[in-house]
Structure 1
Amino acid sequence: MGLLQGFRLRLLVFVALIAASTAVFAQNSAREFVSSQLKGKVLEVKTNDGKYEIQFYNENIVETAFIPNGEKKGVSHAVVLKPNVDGLSLVEKNGTIAYMSKGLAVEISKSPFSIQYLYKGKNLISEKEGYTKTDSTENIDFTLEKDEVLFGGGARVLGMNRRGNRLQLYNRAHYGYGTHSELMNYTMPVAISSKKYAIHFDNAPIGFLDLDSKKDNILRYETISGRKVYQVVATDTWEDFTYQFTELTGRQPMLPRWAFGNFSSRFGYHSQKETVETIDYFLKDSIPVDAIILDLYWFGKTVKDEMGNLAFDRDSFPNPEKMISDLNDRGVKTILITEPFILTTSNRWDEAVREGVLGLDSLGNPYKYDFFFGNTGLVDVFKPKAIDWFWNIYKGLTNKGVAGWWGDLGEPEVHPAELLHVNGTADEVHNIYGHYWAKLVYDGYKRDFPEQRPFILMRAGAVGSQRYGMVPWTGDVSRSWGGLKPQTEISLQMGMQGISYMHSDLGGFAGANLDDELYTRWLQYGVFQPIFRPHAQEDVASEPVFREAGTKALAKKSIELRYKLMPYIYTMAFENHQSGLPLMRPLFFDEEDNKDILHISDTYLWGDAFLVSTVTDAGLKKKEVYMPKNSVWFDFVSDKKYDGGKAYTIKTKKENIPVFVRGGSFIPMIQGMKNTIGYSLKDMDLHYYHATSVSESEGKLYNDDGETPAAYEKGEYELLRFNSAYNSGKLSISLASETGDHYKAIDKKISHIIHNIEKHPKKVSIDGKKVDFTWDDKSNTLRFVGELKTEKKQTITIKLAK
């Protein structure tokens, strides 16, 4: 289609929609149009009380900023995308202005004044009153369609459809939550519609996101102050939605490979001796472990009065340098907790006051207040001198071998409204505090440790925090079945909002509840969540090595499976880094127009190949699992086949939760790792799930050294691509090895396991040469071994019996 034809088509659509839609959308009753003009590619619309600036980032993303008279637009803390779009059209006709990309259209009615948004000719949403101001808040409201399902708002436990709730935007911990939580550590002013569009309110101060709580089809953003700016993101598919949203707000850098392994963690290890002995137990029991996390006892003997020391307590940890070095030699990384609170009783209080790194009161003195841990000040992570001071502490400990950081209480947990930061009041910057704390650490690594990928575990952040490598978790969840139930919902929702590494304290955190079945089910789910990290209050052990023999054995089985799947998991991480596609995905990512599955969260997609269904009830014998249509699914343990498009009643087993593999999938695996220091593709397994209904399929495996930042961008990587083709009794599988310009790959011995081969195959050949194989008539599994040379292609041909 030529440019002129395309313009005419959009003009025809525009004219038709004006007639159809003017009666549908509400308008601002007080705002009056004055004038409009195009300044470069920004449409400026002046009204009686301010001006609008409308700017496209690309054909899927448009930003609308209202700037009241006498105010400035302000700066975004979330957006990193630079506008880059061609082919925009501006049409003015019959009192209406339309500013259009190839996908999105912004339509402005002059009188009565209104703004509405369309995508490819279909109505998305419209401002109702738009920006309005009350005595206490500044609001922007919109008119919704009555059947829209709404996601977003950050981390909550409300069910997948969050419509009908008024969500407070104030990061705050909810200790011991279970099946319902309206406010948690990580809130975000984002509303995502089942119509595959989102509105991101690009503003930092606290407020509310009202998702039609009054049942009057109104979406409202309420805030105390700040920017009146929002972006509308609209796409055709959910996969493209996550791509576009992370294009706007940034993508997660690759984590170090060890971060996908098993963590030893509790609240907390009291001494060097206890730390080392715990890892000894893991190694004695041959349970893989990659890291140990030291909670607050590393800097003090008590929970209270010592926070802010930010240095090892040499009584309890007499030689931390040797401990860290020795653990590292065994392949175990050391991670330390830090908090932004400097207590007045801590060893660093005088230093923090002298260096001027704390938030202030109205007289310019350090703001002091009481909370659970003692009398405290708060590091002002927005102040340049505080950033340098805090980072130098991290830098010093990193130089001693510390491999990762846990940033706790970073909501901040207690943040008095009267406290002043260098860039605003506490309430104005509260929700971006964790975001900038993560940035502080991330930027420090980039500058001073450019060859090391940071690991930054934090409880609170903002829109876009993923670009600083933040790995958030779901907070202090109850150690109960009620605590386990919503974990998938939280992770799925956060993944849609760009935060793909949201995970839970496996086993549950809060409460002295010894429940071996609960612990087992939680760890079985943990295999298929982004980070595998059992953690809890120490009354009941979180580490599998301290559980009774049967529970330990089942936990070991889950951890070993996690390590076997490491090539698949690491490839998912690469895909997320490249495209923003979450590791955990709702079922409706597979069935885009099936409204009946929008509410499902206990069954989800783990990458493209796996379907996972959690067990969240004690003694559960069976559960209903929906299998997405247009695919064949195989039980991961038994290989039993299921046709997609309906729900099945699945009998549960204590050894595993229900997990299924999509027909046509390639699953790369590795056997026998103690931890990721032994990761190698030299001798690997490649599972292929054959289905006669799948004529073609593809898969991939990404690899690098697991350590170098931006390895792919630097050409320090390899990428194996797998393809299958099936026709008339012949299955062909091709493998291709691609390496970056600066990567030295190795030859690979590959054990091929082909599932669902129902009759004894006639012949297997690799590049035309016949090879030996075995076929198991009970499991219908074909096995043979091949060798893939570096940067070579290979074709496997399997002639099947008819």
Structure 2
Amino acid sequence: MRNLTYALSGLMLFAIVQQGFSQTNKAHYEKMPSGIKVSFKNSETSIDQDIYLDVVTDKIVRVTAVPAGAALPGQTSLVIVDSLRRQVKSLAVSSTDSTVNVQTANMQTVVSLINGKVEFFDLKGQSIFKEAKRNSSSFLANSYQGDAFYHINQDFIVNAEEGIYGLGQHQNAVMNYNRGKQVSLLQYNTEIGIPFLLSTNNYGILWHNYSITKAGDVRPLLPLNAFKLQSKEGEPGWLTATYVNRNKGEEVYLSRPESIIDYGYLTDQHKFPKGVNLAESKVIYAGSFSSPYTGKHVLHFKYSGYMKVWIDGEQVADRWRQSWNAGTFEIERDLQKDKIHQIRMEWIPDGGESYFTLNWQSPIPEARKNVFSFNSEAGDAIDYYFVQGASMDEVIAGYRHLSGKAPIMPLWSFGFWQSRERYKTQAEIEAVAAEFRKREIPIDNIVQDWSYWTENDWGSQKFDVKRFPDPQAMVKKLHDQHFKIMISAWPKINEESSVYQEFKANKWIYPRNIYDGRKDWIGKGYTSTFYDPFNKAARDGFWKLLDNNLFKIGIDAWWMDASEPDIHSNIDLDERKSVFQPAIGSSVRYYNVFPLQNAKGIYEGQRETDPNKRVFILTRSFFAGQQRYAAAAWSGDIASRWHDMKDQIAGGINFSMSGTPYWTMDAGGFLVENRFHKPDAADLEEWRELNSRWYQYGAFLPLFRAHGQYPYREPYNIAPVDHPAYKSMIYAINLRYKLLAYNYSLAAKTFFDDYSMIRGLAMDFPQDKDGFDRNDQYLWGPSLLISPVTEKGASSRKIHFPKGTSWYDLYSGKMVAGGQDLLIATPYERIPVYVRAGAILPIGPVMQYTAEKKPDVLDVYVYAGANGHFSLYEDEGSNYNYEKGKYSRIDFSYDNSTKTLSVANRQGDFDGMLTKRKFNFIFVSDSNAVGLDVSPAKPTVVTYAGKALQVKLK
């Protein structure tokens, strides 16, 4: 009995202690107008912090955490739209002993009163996403140029099975970032950082921070010498680096130990051996390495020139990049602790300055295997928006609710674009335009790249009248031939330019680069800088230049090159930050947002100048929210190599899954190896094949533009008319125009429904986990499965057919069952394109330009095997009347059980609308294999005058 009494007394004492512990460590919370504030002070279970939940809609919650007592960030957001609408049906706050809970009509957000962790649940109590506990590394005080801020870190716990996408555009061929990857979110030529991730668990995170940020596995990369190294001679501690004559391999300049490879920037050039001319050298690194860890290792390479890598005799990389524009790639290897691996790297630098770094990620520790982090250089708070949805599309719609809709781009932009680096004279660009029309190659847009100005007048936005004697007449002539013209408008201003003094006097420029005396690479070299788009007066001044010199003579679209801003390609980040000092605050805090503000000034300037002409901006760099300024991105100065073409696929998909829908790349690649300048027979055929495959891929993107350095990129300059390459490129261009009704309807869906045209397989097939990591396939709209060919000489490639549906060959109509991987033939003339069962696919006529004729006859292919729907959208194509409701829709619905196609009453109208047209209905099934290259025996022809009708298909 006495023992039981002692036991009960002990339990009561334990309960009292626990209660006291709980009471003294629990946070205080208070209700706010649209959420709650939770405060921790002197707690043993949490850092001192204030946590705010701000409910934006029933599916969007903003979470902000600051050190205890610190003010919330007060500045107006550059990303979130000014007109943000709160749409909250219900909001209830409740609490338990250990939590405070905020519930809306769609979700519940729970904050721990013990440690401050925030977790998100659906209404059934299923966890969607949660924070890890904040600690002393969450807020590290720092400053730059008198600007005080925190270095910010937030860890989140993710599900090992989910797919994570978005985060901008990167060149590492990675599709799914939930695999221990480190992603650097910073603006750089070929790299775009957008701080939005999208999960297959139907949530998104908009990390509300403008500074350089690492995402994913944010542990610091390790230098080469973190491995145990051994030279090729067997000496411990280094690899043997042998510098040889690249033309006479037996001639050795020198051999030396190297245990750190870190030649990343101009400031690192002195580390190379004295007296060795890298332009004549090949460097061979040889030896062995072993790791102190077991597991997946990731080698991170930055390089220029030619780079080949062998591990244990297996070649694992063969790359090239031009000297001034270093590229990156990664190699993954599963390694065993202390196991020795042979390594050989052959590096041929390309040109004067040369770049090569090698670092690595160690295997993820067990405790961090399900951790996904954001780590930012500067911020006042941990600040993010959690967006929930019933689908990934609904999550992206939430992102655009926050950051702005993507306008419908002009109809002409969905045609073919021709560009080159560069048309040097008025006569040259006019001749190319005339040749396209003479050959009857469809085209809508011709592009004038940089240096159309006089050499010293970079920034004036004025043509050099010696080479372009009458720009206004040139633009009119192109317009008369049914061309649009886009022009390069750099945000850069030379000190010797005619506008420099005005911009300097008004403090509209960044002066540091002028004082540093850093020269560019044009002619004799000119000191230059960039204007400051964070200053509204500077934005207005820049638009005034564009308006007076270019827009008033009829220029149709803007190409914003170097919009990172790229002050100089290879200065290090510290130098970049010292040069780039925006009026709004320090460069560290605002490093990634230049392209957003640059686009803002042009978009607002043109819409104010001409409210009824659609703005189009093509930009090399991009940030969250930029889609609202009619901005599209292209992937920068990539190389004309097969590996670069493949890298673009995952880069473009993830860009699109960042909520930013308009993307493209230079079809054919921009940077060209010398071997293609004066090619032998084999290289010439490879060049033609490479461009053919790139055109075939480019036809299924929001924008289809051929561009690059010499050789010239017009189809007739790539191959003669009787060559398979020429025929293939023309077929791809014609197919682009045949798909115009489909593509333009996707653009409308992108605006009205916040849709995404480029779609990772997981977006439409979230239950098919075999598709989560596919980095070389995507869906173009709801219907088309695109599988580019990215290997030289490939006559077949493996294709994953997502399960849950059947697929039809676009060209032949032959059916393939889903849920399998198959080796599919890839003839020179075509890339594999498959149509999803249930698809309703409008195919229009071949046209010379998008406005040549109205689509009064459309072939409408209907694919058996599932119910389907398609909404055919049309408007005036060039103005903003669609924002006022001036457009039409024709809805098609297919009932697979009855084989009935229903066409609804036409909804809406607009000036110039077709009131009567013909539809040729073509039914495709397993027993009726027809396609674009196999004509149907007899389509069902109907006349449609806007009234509903039904057709039985057979």
TM-score by length of 2: 0.74
| Preserved contact between residue 753 and residue 781 of structure 1 (Cα < 8 Å) | no
Q: Percent identity?
A: 26
Change (3 A) 1:265 1:328: same
Of the three residues 888, 894, 918, the one matched with 1:749 is: 918
Cα deviations across residues 724-748 of structure 1 (Å, max 9, x unaligned)?
A: 23446x6444353222376744311
Of the three residues 24, 28, 39, the one matched with 1:35 is: 28
Q: Which residue of 1 aligns with 2:783?
A: 609
Give yes or no for the alignment of 1:211 onto 2:217: yes
- Distance of 1:781 and 1:58 partners within structure 2: 53
Deviation at residue 719 of structure 1 after TM alignment? 0.9
| Preserved contact between residue 682 and residue 746 of structure 1 (Cα < 8 Å) | no
Which of the pair has more CA radius of gyration?
A: 2
Of the three residues 632, 637, 662, the one matched with 1:476 is: 637
Give yes or no for the alignment of 1:714 onto 2:884: yes
- Distance of 1:776 and 1:335 partners within structure 2: 32
Deviation at residue 78 of structure 1 after TM alignment? 1.6
- Distance of 1:576 and 1:454 partners within structure 2: 16
Deviation at residue 130 of structure 1 after TM alignment? 2.7
Deviation at residue 701 of structure 1 after TM alignment? 0.9
**AA partner of residue 603 (structure 2):** Y
- Distance of 1:704 and 1:778 partners within structure 2: 31
Q: Which residue of 2 aligns with 1:118?
A: 121
Worse-superposed segment, 677-686 or 286-295: 677-686
- Distance of 1:142 and 1:106 partners within structure 2: 15
Q: Which residue of 1 aligns with 2:53?
A: 54
Give yes or no for the alignment of 1:161 onto 2:176: yes
Of the three residues 398, 404, 416, the one matched with 1:244 is: 398
**AA partner of residue 313 (structure 1):** D
Pairing 1:551-566 to 2, within 5 Å after superposition: 551-566=725-740
Deviation at residue 33 of structure 1 after TM alignment? 5.2
- Distance of 2:796 and 2:425 partners within structure 1: 44
Of the three residues 855, 863, 868, the one matched with 1:697 is: 868
**Runs (5+) with no aligned partner, structure 1:** 1-28, 175-183, 761-773
Change (3 A) 1:428 1:405: same
**AA partner of residue 797 (structure 1):** K
Of the three residues 161, 164, 173, the one matched with 2:189 is: 173
Of the three residues 422, 425, 428, the one matched with 1:268 is: 422
- Distance of 1:220 and 1:778 partners within structure 2: 51
Deviation at residue 314 of structure 1 after TM alignment? 0.5
- Distance of 2:903 and 2:925 partners within structure 1: 18
Secondary structure at the counterpart of residue 278 of structure 1: helix
**AA partner of residue 520 (structure 1):** S
Give yes or no for the alignment of 1:133 onto 2:139: yes
Of the three residues 26, 33, 37, the one matched with 1:44 is: 37
- Distance of 1:72 and 1:33 partners within structure 2: 22
Question: Aligned-residue CA RMSD in angstroms?
Answer: 2.6
Q: Which residue of 2 aligns with 1:797?
A: 952
Give yes or no for the alignment of 1:734 onto 2:903: yes
- Distance of 2:94 and 2:911 partners within structure 1: 51
Aligned residue pairs total 735
Secondary structure at the counterpart of residue 939 of structure 2: strand
**AA partner of residue 200 (structure 2):** S
Change (3 A) 1:166 1:633: closer
Deviation at residue 283 of structure 1 after TM alignment? 0.9
Q: Which residue of 2 aligns with 1:723?
A: 893
Change (3 A) 1:338 1:145: same
- Distance of 2:529 and 2:729 partners within structure 1: 41
- Distance of 2:692 and 2:763 partners within structure 1: 29
Secondary structure at the counterpart of residue 876 of structure 2: coil
Q: Which residue of 2 aligns with 1:314?
A: 465
Worse-superposed segment, 670-679 or 570-579: 670-679
- Distance of 2:598 and 2:534 partners within structure 1: 8
Deviation at residue 34 of structure 1 after TM alignment? 4.4
Secondary structure at the counterpart of residue 166 of structure 2: strand
Deviation at residue 236 of structure 1 after TM alignment? 2.9
| Preserved contact between residue 91 and residue 97 of structure 1 (Cα < 8 Å) | yes
Secondary structure at the counterpart of residue 882 of structure 2: coil
**AA partner of residue 39 (structure 2):** K
**AA partner of residue 441 (structure 1):** I
Give yes or no for the alignment of 1:226 onto 2:379: yes
| Preserved contact between residue 62 and residue 104 of structure 1 (Cα < 8 Å) | no
Secondary structure at the counterpart of residue 560 of structure 1: helix
Deviation at residue 204 of structure 1 after TM alignment? 1.1
| Preserved contact between residue 663 and residue 702 of structure 2 (Cα < 8 Å) | yes
Give yes or no for the alignment of 1:188 onto 2:194: yes
- Distance of 1:534 and 1:611 partners within structure 2: 22
- Distance of 2:26 and 2:635 partners within structure 1: 46
- Distance of 1:170 and 1:630 partners within structure 2: 38
Secondary structure at the counterpart of residue 461 of structure 2: coil
| Preserved contact between residue 285 and residue 545 of structure 1 (Cα < 8 Å) | no
**AA partner of residue 122 (structure 1):** Q
Change (3 A) 1:751 1:447: same
Change (3 A) 1:642 1:275: same
Q: Which residue of 2 aligns with 1:785?
A: 941
Change (3 A) 1:141 1:724: closer
**AA partner of residue 353 (structure 1):** K
- Distance of 1:105 and 1:759 partners within structure 2: 51
| Preserved contact between residue 507 and residue 519 of structure 1 (Cα < 8 Å) | yes
Pairing 1:280-679 to 2, within 5 Å after superposition: 280-300=434-454, 305-360=456-511, 369-373=518-522, 374-396=526-548, 397-414=550-567, 415-512=576-673, 513=676, 515-537=687-709, 539-549=710-720, 550=723, 551-679=725-853
- Distance of 1:220 and 1:627 partners within structure 2: 33
TM-score by length of 1: 0.87
| Preserved contact between residue 344 and residue 376 of structure 1 (Cα < 8 Å) | yes
Deviation at residue 552 of structure 1 after TM alignment? 2.2
**AA partner of residue 588 (structure 1):** A
- Distance of 1:778 and 1:200 partners within structure 2: 47
- Distance of 1:609 and 1:782 partners within structure 2: 23
Change (3 A) 1:350 1:192: same
Deviation at residue 395 of structure 1 after TM alignment? 1.7
**AA partner of residue 782 (structure 1):** K
Change (3 A) 1:778 1:33: closer
Q: Which residue of 2 aligns with 1:83?
A: 86
